[in-house]
Amino acid sequence: MKKIALITGATSGIGAACARKFAGAGYDLIITARRSEQLTMMANELTQGFGVQVLPCCFDVRDREAVKRAVDSIPASWRDIDVLINNAGLALGLEPEYAGDFTDWETMIDTNVKGLLYMTRLIVPGMVERMKGHVINIGSVAGDAAYAGGAVYCATKAAVKILSDGLRIDLSHTPVRVTTLKPGLVETNFSNVRFHGDTERAAKVYQGIQPLSGDDIADVALYAASAPAHVQIAEVLILATHQASGSVICRS
């Protein structure tokens, strides 16, 4: 029987890796992103490469009304969503908290926290009604402790952990599972976005260490989704071998 996974932020990084990994496992996919051209390209790649059905939905998770319109427009044949992967998220800036940019703060909070809440509120009731489903939230090692210049981003990822824990408690009377994945250093376009397109500065983040890849995180996501129904992988911290915490990295 076909399963359906909905993945936010599915056109790059961990989201794209999850889309490919779940498509390879036979899931049909609802993929979301803000950029329609890249979303179409990703949908075509998945359809042609894996032979699965793909429903692209273009919207910004920060826009609650747009999220609701998109979810309401999902055809009936696609509504039985088995896995929701709340992946859309970003970091912006690395300034001290007292010198941070208001717009960067609002974008991080609106995307990483409120966007996750909007998707959860609109998708999970269907899982509860069907008594079947799994929510996988992409958090971060940054949610475990603050580091210099990252206070607001760290706070948003701490919120992801607490919101996931709270959702797991609220769903404990149902078979619906909740997993938080907390990656460490993953080489994607994350740092390029954080530094507003400064590619040279972004590249330095990954120098002297073999970082994780999006595929590494997608492997864990699929493992959690594939566990027997009585097994709930509640939380996984995934670090590069030479990374000990959000701020301790041994570089060669």
Q: Both ends of the chain: CA-CA distance in Å?
A: 48
Residue 28: φ, ψ to 5° = -80, 150
Enumerate residues 6+ apart whose C-beta is below 8 A from 185: 205, 206, 209, 211, 212, 239, 240, 243, 249
One of 27, 153, 206, 223 is an active-site residue; which one?
A: 153
The verdict on whether 118 is a catalytic residue reads no
Helix H segments across 109-245? 116-130, 151-170, 190-194, 199-204, 214-226
33's enclosing H/E stretch is strand 28-33
Please tell me the distance from the alpha carbon of residue 57 to that of residue 174, in angstroms, as a whole number: 28
- In whole angstroms, how far apart are CA 102 and each of 66, 93, 115, 147? 23, 11, 18, 19
| Selection from 14, 30, 44 nearest residue 123 by Cα | 30
| Selection from 220, 106, 212 nearest residue 153 by Cα | 106
Please tell me the distance from the alpha carbon of residue 17 to that of residue 85, in angstroms, as a whole number: 12
Which residues are catalytically annotated?
153
